[in-house]
Structure 1
Amino acid sequence: MSSVLISGINGFVGHHLAKALSDQGFRIIGTGMQPKPTAAIADLIDQYINCNMTDAAAVSRLPFEAVDVIFSLAGLAKVGDSFAERQKYMAVNVNVLAVVCERLLKQKLPTKVIAVSTGAVYDPNQPLPFTEDSKLIKDGSPYAVSKVMMEASARRYIEQGLNCLIVRPFNHIGPGQEAGFLLPDLYAKIMAASRGDGVVSVGDLSTARDYTDVRDVVRAYSGLIEAETSAGSIYNICSGQPIGGQVILDKLLQKTGLSGKLQIKYDQGLARQNDPKLIYGSAAKLQQATGWQPQITLDKTLDDFIGA
């Protein structure tokens, strides 16, 4: 039975990855900033360690020798928050991976590292869909720039012999996603409006993004554990199908029985400056390596989110 370590296991994606790997029989060690694991995953994992993954001394005490694969999920992921916390995002998102890589190289451990980047690293001003060879941004949100820097750091360790893959998941949504992202924020506004003044204030919903259910995303991660891959390989994880923000809003209104009952108000102050209208990617490389395909429809994702 293979053993894995998941950093940031208490997060949105960490929860779903823990469940997916537990169902497959993996032995799971999780780390997080909280004193203990959340109740949702406590019975799914074999060991939990309270650890700041940017702290080299703390990371040096983790049982890396006992695991075959490390999923580096720890980090900061809210694009909106990153503009007010630029330096924090840069430091945390680079160091949560660099500290792990430094220790693995120092001890010459063969552990496979799956470093989680983002589809936001691509320069939006180029042909679609984005492939792993598309140009990366030189300027963008602090979140996206921090992931470009993280990837550059990873490549230096790969050149020194580290067995590390980089995955670039595009926007993912699903049950349990917290505030700060489109789906939970729209749903919260709809529910608040239904109990209050009946007005839902939104930003620019004409933009379209490549959304994948988080359960499909973690299935892609798990498929890379046993896949024949080369160190330094990069894989997009995406559906290849852009979905407009307006589509998600309309479906949420329909599913909550509130279509036509609320006033939708466009607030320019909620729109991001210079936000690209259309972004989507190609997961052909991942599909060739593992056979992965997204399976969960948007309607099921929304139903499960509402019902969670």
Structure 2
Amino acid sequence: MASRSRLPRTGEAHGRPRPGRTGPLAEPMTRTLVVTGAGGFVGAHLCRIAADAGFSVFAVGREAKRPDSLDGFVDEYVGVDLTEEWPSQVPTDADVVHLAGLAAVGGSFRDPQLYLSSNSAMVTHLCEALMRGSGGGRVVGVSSGAVYAAGPGDSFIDEASPVGFSSPYAVSKVLVENQLSYYRGRGLDTVVARPFNHSGPGQGVGFIIPDLIRRLAQTSADEVLTTGSLSTRRDYTDVRDVARAYLALITAPRLDHDVYNVASGTPRSGSEILAAVCAALGRPVPETRLDPGLLRPNDPASITGDAGRLREQTGWAPQVSFEQMIVESVSSVLA
């Protein structure tokens, strides 16, 4: 395998026993991990971290050709439309982290049925293939913290918090979770991860941190910056810590629950993000102007995710600080 140096480093009981492993990434191993959505933001980081942990990585992506971001981290790659089929060459006895899916909340309002149909079909094809095969290893299905029914005030959210249906995207994720529960009842070892906001090097446009970096890099220090609300607070975790959380769920000897939050437990306001980005760019914080058109109705003032269940069950904890995440995001965007 080539050198691994592209990305920055930093209910019921589930599954069979995992001999010789007492922590989330306790020791190297030779074991296959299938990663769907491998060419995406989180997928590329997960493939690298899994390869470094000793996994043989089988990557599944949309692109016909393996993306450059996966060079040196994957042993096999297949490009396929998972809404149409599950690739026959993927081993059915491997562990799977299912990241693939439509994930833009805004886009889900424009084409809601596409989100419902596509995200659901992928899970059906994956799980039916495992049912026809050996039954698979453990399947971590990645959902979202967006499925929770956060109120207009401050929200501290654990896995017992009520689920809401605030967008077609959230509806599609709840559907996927229910499918995974159905297949768990059929004998598959499935578990759901609900990540809250995450960012870091490699994140594309359409998200607050890389978008702020690009806009600030293109404006002068005395220019007024037009923004949405900077007072709302959200829980941000570095993408590499999120990837480690998924591996922690894959490798845990025992899981006592069906759903696990992935979150830092510390909310950050838009103003804090702006200040941190400006510090990383070495420039003063600009004057800002609120654009009412960028406001979201009934937007919760603050959302904090509780990942205590994940910490207690697997020993996972964030390793990358908020400040480091911002600095490396700036370096990535400006590279």
Report the TM-score range of the alignment, normalised by the length of the smaller protein.
over 0.9
1:123-177 CA distance string (max 9 Å, x none): 113984211111100x202222211111111111111111101001110010000
Aligned amino acid, residue 155 of structure 1: S
**8 Å Cα contact 2:235/2:268 also seen in 1:** yes
Q: Answer yes or no: is the 8 Å Cα contact 1:164–1:231 preserved in 2.
A: no
Deviation at 1:37, TM superposition (A): 2.0
Q: Hey, what does 1:107 align to over in structure 2? A: 133
Separation in 1, partners of 2:270, 2:149: 21
> In 2, Cα distance between the equivalents of 1:208 and 1:93?
28
Once the two structures are superposed, the pairs formed by residues 4-23 of structure 1 within 5 Å of their partners are: 4-23=33-52
Candidates 64, 70, 82, aligned match of 1:41:
70
Aligned residues: 302
**Structure-1 residue corresponding to 2:232:** 207
Q: Of the two structures, which has the highest relative contact order with CA contacts closer than 8 Å and spacing of 6 or more?
A: 2
1:219 to 232, 240, 244: 244
Identity, in percent, stands at 37
Once the two structures are superposed, the pairs formed by residues 126-141 of structure 1 within 5 Å of their partners are 128-137=155-164, 139-141=165-167
Tell me the equivalent position of 2:191.
Answer: 165
Aligned partners of 1:245, 1:80: CA distance in 2, in Å? Answer: 19
Residue 90 of structure 2 corresponds to which residue in structure 1?
63
Q: Residue 83 of structure 1: which of 101, 109, 113 is its match?
A: 109
Give the whole-Å Cα distance in 2 for the aligned partners of 1:199 and 1:61.
54
**Does the aligned pair in 2 maintain the 1:162–1:231 contact within 8 Å?**
no
1:280 matched residue in structure 2: 304
> Separation in 1 of the partners of 2:223 and 2:317?
39
Q: Which residue of 1 aligns with 2:12?
A: none
Unaligned runs of 5+ in 1: none
Counterpart amino acid of residue 269 in structure 1: G
Separation in 2 of the partners of 1:153 and 1:283?
23
Q: Tell me how far apart the structure 2 counterparts of residues 225 and 158 of structure 1 sit (CA, whole Å).
A: 15
CA deviations on 1:248-297 (whole Å, 9 max, x unpaired) are 0121122212314x442210111222221111111111111111111211
Q: CA-to-partner distance for each residue in 1:211-240, whole Å, 9 max, x for gaps?
A: 100111111111122212348621111011
Correspondences of 1:121-200 after superposition (within 5 Å): 121-125=147-151, 128-137=155-164, 139-194=165-220, 198-200=223-225
Given the two structures, how large is their TM-score scaled by the length of structure 1? 0.92
State the 1:192 CA deviation: 2.4
CA contact (8 A) 2:278 2:284 kept: yes
CA distance in 2, matches of 1:72, 1:85: 22
Distance change in 2, residues 1:81/1:5 (3 Å): same
TM-score under structure 2 length normalisation: 0.85
Matched to 2:328, the amino acid is D
| CA distance in structure 1 between the partners assigned to 2:67 and 2:225 by the alignment | 32
Counterpart of 2:317 in structure 1 is 293
What is the CA deviation profile of residues 51-83 of structure 1, one whole-angstrom value per residue up to 9, with x for unaligned ones? 111112xx1513223x52011000122222222
Contact 1:15/1:41 (<8 A) preserved: yes
Asked if structure 1 preserves the Cα contact closer than 8 Å seen for 2:108 and 2:168, the reply is yes
- 1: distance between equivalents of 2:74 and 2:118? 25
> How far, CA to CA, are the matches of 2:87 and 2:204 in structure 1?
31
Q: Does 1:53 align with 2:78?
A: no
Aligned-partner residue type, residue 179 of structure 1? V
For the 8 Å contact 1:175–1:301, the answer to whether it is kept is yes
Q: Which structure features the higher share of helix residues?
A: 1
RMSD, matched Cα:
1.9
Partners of 2:230 and 2:89 lie apart in 1 by 44
Aligned to 2:264: 239
CA distance in 1 between counterparts of 2:154 and 2:227 reads 28
Structure 1 counterpart of 2:68, one-letter code: A
Runs of 4+ in structure 1 off by over 6 angstroms are none
Report deviation, 1:96. 1.7
User: Does the residue aligned with 1:70 lie in a helix, a strand or coil?
Assistant: strand
C-alpha offsets along residues 95-141 of structure 1, whole Å, 9 cap, x if unaligned?
2222201221233513211100011111113984211111100x202
